[in-house]
Amino acid sequence: MHLSRRQLLKAGMAGGLSATLFGCNLLPLKAGYAPEHFTGAVGLSDGGFGVSAINRHGQPLWQSPVDTRCHSGCNRPGGAQVLFFERRPGSSFYVLDQSSGARLHHVKAATGEHFVGHGVFSLDGRWLYATASRYAQGEGIVAVYDADDAYRRVDTFELAGIGPHQLTLHPNGETLVIGLGGILTHPDYDRIKLNLDTMQPALVLMNRRSGNILGRFHPSHHQQSIRHVDVNPTGEVYAAYQYQGPLHQAPPLLARLQDGRLQEIRFDDATQSALANYIASVTAHPENDLVAATSPVGGTAVVFEGRSGRLVSRASIPDCAGIQALAGGDFLVSSGRGKLVRLGTDNKSREIANLPVHWDHHLV
Amino acid sequence: MQQLTRLVGVSALALSSALAMTASASDTSLEARKRWHQAIYQGYQSLETEAEDFSQAASTYCSDPTPDARQAVEQDWLAAFLAWQQVRFVDFGPVEHNNLSWQFQFWPDPKNIVARKAGYLLKSDDQIDKDLIKASGVAVQGFPMTEYLLFDEPLNSGANALPTAKTCRLLTAVAHHIETNSEQLSHQWRSLRDHYLANDQYRDSTIRAGMAALEILEERRLAQPMGLRGTGKRSAYAADAWRSGTSLRTIEATIRGLKQHFLPGLSVLLTEAEQSQLARQIAAQFDEVLDNFPTLHRPIDALLSDDKAFAELQGLYMDVSQLATLVNDQAASTLGVVRGFNSSDGD
């Protein structure tokens, strides 16, 4: 059932969905697209799934039902549409009206392919690039769609690698930055990791028009699976890992692309341990040098200086995952327990809202 | 000045008691981990022994396929499979390497990949040996494949029925693979000991493993075949080990395994957290679940097709649900361990 804002507010008054804002009555603006909206995939208390948007008052704007659990999405430049992708292995993505949540398109994956949860638009908002896999062959691809033509599939770029995950667009408008996890899976075998001994994770740079690969950078250990990536407006590229080796080893989980290599960032032992070899999201702030990363497994969020790698803040937030950069320089972190927590340079986390939903991995 | 001294004294006291508490909690965690490590090691050793017997029985049967030898290999298969069920809850450590856990038991298998792979291997001209098994996928490498070869009715009434040479080669090669994996697992678990004891994170990993096992047992191994989830239809095919008619025995073994290898460490932590009453309740609930056996030692399809028998199955389901609530809600929240929406996602 699609819920309008009015219905949601009514439900909220009856003790249901409205957010509880603590300490302040207005969230800071979001940096970037659609600054008034915070949108994320959610798990609902009845076991169903949706995509939910809230405004700066912490009030739900809309909640749109989806068939299965979604993972992440992207705002279409121009502000009218927001997209969400089904969780890996995803068979479709949803195009929703940014202001009402109404479903505009439901686009299925091509035969033999599945989505992995992420997509990004060209700066003009016309071309959608979605990471995907041809599962029988285990080949990672970038699928290209024409948003002006009802999301018609127009092109396919080969990644020459396995397990692409998040992708984003470099501020030059031409280069796709892609996390290639390196892990082979197959829908017949659920999420079993089929090649842990031979995986070749990489950060891939690709020309968005030709699909030519401009660079491929490997982490220091072949089991540091690169899943998430971000880039700030000055072009600093960050990658976040999920380490597939034993828990008692705690290798670096974050890296900055510098001088043609992944310059890995390792924090103190206690922080490394608190991150539990798993990063779910990484976000480079568009207004400063700060980068935030979350580990739901370790229940820990960190903020660090991008260039130096110096740890600035560390907060314990159970099941935290989504991150949104806020205007003014701080970050907003969402959790599977419905919390929205503000985190910045002062190393004090402030819980600013609580909704009766499970926020999924990413906020857009 | 005196006041200041008193203040300093008080705060120093507060600090030292906070430190003492931390130290004591971490001692308890170490004690719990010592118990867990030892108990799980015993479980793995038992798996190793049973897997060796099964592999030996498979070879004996295939070299001289008498009815007695057939009965022996089926019994030894079950003993090894149940030994695996007892430690199946451990989802971290060496059992993660190389998907060892999936190699032991590829499940669920809604697409019947085990049967498809067996059909393919039995038809192909490839030499069936340990290298081929090693190179094959997880659907070939474990207990479900050997169960298929020993118990699948269509297979065993057709041209490829055991003890046909090729089927025998597949059986002995997979049994050998299970044996090798069991040895490796037991050996690697022993080697993990120092890391496991030195690293407090394994406390939460172990608790989460027990929680996940109970959730899988309740939701996927019982509710799903009982038609309480999803399509709402009862289906034996959604259960473990339906071919051998041992679905319920595997459930019993998992509960016994949790009681023996998981509960002692958990009880140490609960007692330290002044929750010994809860620890006793959990222990009693394990016994409640186990009281359903051996009455329920029947093939699951028989329990699903008869309403009176189904009521008994519902009784088991209720007992398991209560156990899951005690462990996954009450004990876990007391100990500050939660399986999150995102933390258990894997992306």
Specify whether B134 is located in the same domain as B230: no
A117 at B interface, C-beta within 8 A: yes
Point out the domain boundary residue: B152, B181, B198: B198
In total, the C-beta contacts within 8 angstroms joining chain A to chain B are: 83
B159-186 confidence digits (pLDDT tens):
999 999 999 999 999 999 999 999 999 9
Instruction: Give Cβ neighbours of residue B119 (< 8 Å, ≥ 6 apart).
Output: none
> What is the rounded distance in angstroms from the CA atom of residue B170 to the CA atom of residue B157?
17
Contact B106, B114 (CB under 8 A): yes
Domain ranges of chain A: 39-45+63-317
Pairing of strands A300-305, A81-86: unpaired
Tell me which CATH code domain A39-45+63-317 carries: 2.130.10.10
Residues B34 and B173 in one domain: yes
B276 is a domain residue: yes
Q: Are A142 and A176 in contact (CB under 8 A)?
A: yes
The residue from B153, B175, B198 where one domain ends is B198
Same domain, B83 and B219: no
Query: Are residue B210 and residue B312 in the same domain, yes or no?
Result: yes
pLDDT one-digit tens code per residue, A53-99: 988 877 789 999 999 999 999 999 987 999 999 998 899 999 999 99
CATH number at residue B314: 1.20.1420.20
Q: Does the beta carbon of A43 lie under 8 angstroms from any beta carbon of chain B? A: yes
Q: Does the residue B7 lie in any domain?
A: no
Place of tokens 């009802």: A150
In a domain, B4, yes or no: no
Report pLDDT for B22. 52
Distance CA A223, CA A200 (A): 8
Q: What is the pLDDT of residues B109-159, one digit of tens each?
A: 999 999 999 999 999 998 999 999 999 999 999 999 999 999 999 999 999
Q: Does pTM top 0.80 for this prediction?
A: yes
Q: Could you tell me if B193 and B229 lie in one domain?
A: no
One domain, residues B116 and B188? yes
Q: How far is Cα A127 from Cα A108, in angstroms, rounded to an integer?
A: 17
**Whether residue B158 sits in one domain with residue B214:** no
pLDDT at residue B287 tops 60: yes
Q: Which residue of A has its CA nearest to B106?
A: A189
Instruction: Please tell me the total count of domains within chain B.
Output: 2
- Is the Cβ pair A360, B341 closer than 8 Å? yes
Are the C-beta atoms of residues A39 and A82 closer than 8 Å to each other? yes
From A27-41, A67-81, A198-212, A264-278, the region with the lowest mean pLDDT: A27-41
Q: Which domain holds residue B92?
A: 30-198
- A 201-220 near B (Cβ less than 8 A): none
Q: Verify whether the Cβ–Cβ distance A358 to B342 is below 8 Å.
A: yes
Q: How large is the ipTM? A: 0.85
Which chain A residues are closer than 8 Å to B113 by Cβ?
Answer: 188-189
